[in-house]
Amino acid sequence: MGRSFFVTAAAFLAVAASLTSRNATAADPPQMDLTKWEPPQLRSVGDDAFGKLVKYGYALMVDTPNQIGPMVTDPAKRYSGNNLTCQNCHLKAGTQPYAIPLMGVWGQFPQYRGREGEIGTLEERINGCMERSMNGRVLPLDGLEMKAFLAYSRWLSSGIPDGAKLIGAGTRNIKEPDRAADPGNGAKIYADTCAVCHGKDGLGQRAATGNGYQFPPLAGPDSYNNGAGMTRVLTAAAFVRHNMPFGTTFDAPVLSDADAYDVAAYINSLDRPIKPNLDKDFPNKMQKPVDSPYGPYVDDFPAEQHKYGPFAPIRAKVRELAAARK
C-alpha cells in the first residue's frame, strides 16, 4: 500500500487544508495544486489487465507516431494523420504543470464544451485532439487505444478528487499586450530562439530512428491542423512562454509576454493542414474564443483581428452583444 496510501493521505490533507482555509461550504469543490503534486511512477504499475492498459496508454502518449501514426505497418492502426506525439504538447507524458497536463482530467469530465455546444466526454475530448492536433481520425470508443488512453488518464489522476479545482491545469495565461501580435517581430524571435531545434521553416527535425521527430514540426503538412487549440494565438503564447525553449517551466519563463505573443502569431501565420467543416464549431458563436482563427464570428471584427488581436475590443463587443440579448 505504501505509496498509494501516502498519495491518498496527501490528497486528503490538501483537500482538508483548502476547505478549512477558505471556510468553505460542503458544496465547494476541493482545490488541487498540480504544481506541488507528485504524479505516480510508471514503475509502480503492475502487469494485471489494468496495468497493461496503463502501460500501453503511456506508450501511446510518448511514442504516438510509431504506435498509431500514418506510417505504421498495420493500415488499421493509422489513426493519427501526422507524426506528432501526444507529449510534444502534453509534456512529460502529461505530467508537466501548465503544459496541458492530463493529471486530474479524469475527474473533470463529462463537461460542457463550447466547441461542440454540448456536454462532452473524456473520450470525445481525446478524439478532439486526434482529429485536430494529430490531424487524424477518431479512435473507436470500444477499441484498445481509446481504452488505453482512458486507463492512463485514470491512473495519472489517482488521488485527485473528482471535480477538483485544478491549479496548474491547461496552460498559464500570458499578460496580454494591449496591441495586435506582430508576426514580423515573432519571426525574429523564432530565428533567434526556436529555429535551432524546430528548424528554419518550422518543419522540425526527424528522430534518428522511427517515424517521429526529435524536434516536432510547428507548421507544414506533418503538423497540427488549423482547427487545433494550438492555432489560437493566446493558447500558443501561453504554452510557449511557460514551456519553451524546451526545458523551460512556468515558474522561470524565458520569453517576455510580448515576445511569446509575437512568436505565437508567427507560427500561426505558417501553412498547416486544413480541417474541413470548421464553420460547424461553436454552434453558439457567443461562446467562440476571441482568438479562434477561423470564422464565422458573432461580431464584425475582421478575421485578421481574431487571429492576431488586439482582443480586448472584441471581448468588449461580445459582452455588449450578450447584454443586448438578455
**Shortest distance, position 20 Cβ to ligand HEC, whole Å:** 27
Kindly state whether residue 193 participates in binding ligand HEC, applying the rule CB under 6 A.
Answer: yes
Residue 130 binds ligand HEC (CB under 6 A): yes
User: Residue 48 and residue 50: Cα distance in Å, rounded?
Assistant: 6
The CB-of-204 to ligand HEC minimum distance in angstroms stands at: 7
Provide the minimum distance between the beta carbon of 188 and ligand HEC in the complex, in angstroms, as a whole number.
11
Which part of the chain contacts ligand HEC (CB under 6 A), choosing from 9-17, 80-88, 155-163, 312-320?
80-88
The least CB distance from residue 139 to ligand HEC, in Å, is 8
- Positions in 246-275 near ligand HEC (CB under 6 A): 246, 255, 263, 267
Judge if the upstream peptide bond of residue 296 is cis by omega within 30 degrees of 0.
Answer: yes
**CA–CA separation, 242 and 32 (whole Å):** 20
In DSSP terms, 165 is beta-bridged to 31
Nearest to 145 by CA among 158, 129, 165: 129
Q: Which of 42, 52, 215, 286 binds ligand HEC (CB under 6 A)?
A: 215
Distance CA 53, CA 33 (A): 27
Distances (CA, A) of 2 to 5, 103, 160: 5, 20, 17
Binding of residue 288 to ligand HEC (CB under 6 A): no
Strand partners of residue 111: 120
Instruction: Considering only the stretches 98-106, 175-183, 280-288, 293-301, report the one whose residues sit in contact with ligand HEC under the rule CB under 6 A.
Output: 98-106
Q: Does 126 contact ligand HEC by CB under 6 A?
A: yes
Distances, alpha carbon 232 to alpha carbons 5, 136, 229, in Å: 41, 19, 6
If the CB atoms of residues 18 and 85 are measured against ligand HEC, the closer one turns out to be 85
Number of residues that bind ligand HEC (CB under 6 A): 46
- Under rule CB under 6 A, residue 169 binds ligand HEC: yes
| One of 88, 157, 225, 268 touching ligand HEC (CB under 6 A) | 88
Q: Is residue 216 a contact residue for ligand HEC (CB under 6 A)?
A: yes
Among 91, 237, 278, 290, binds ligand HEC (CB under 6 A): 91
Stretch that binds ligand HEC, among 9-17, 21-29, 35-43, 239-247 (CB under 6 A): 239-247
Strand partners, 184: none
93: contact with ligand HEC by CB under 6 A: no
State CA 210 to chain mean position distance. 24
C-alpha cell at 320: 455588449
Residue 325's region, left for phi above 0, alpha for psi from -120 to 50, else beta, is: alpha
One DSSP character per residue, 27-63 reads TSPPEEEGGG--PPPGGG--SSHHHHHHHHHHHHHHS
Instruction: Give the residues lining the site for ligand HEC (CB under 6 A).
Output: 64, 84-91, 100, 102, 105, 108, 125-126, 129-130, 133-134, 149, 169-170, 193-194, 196-198, 215-218, 223-224, 228-230, 235-236, 239-240, 244-246, 255, 263, 267
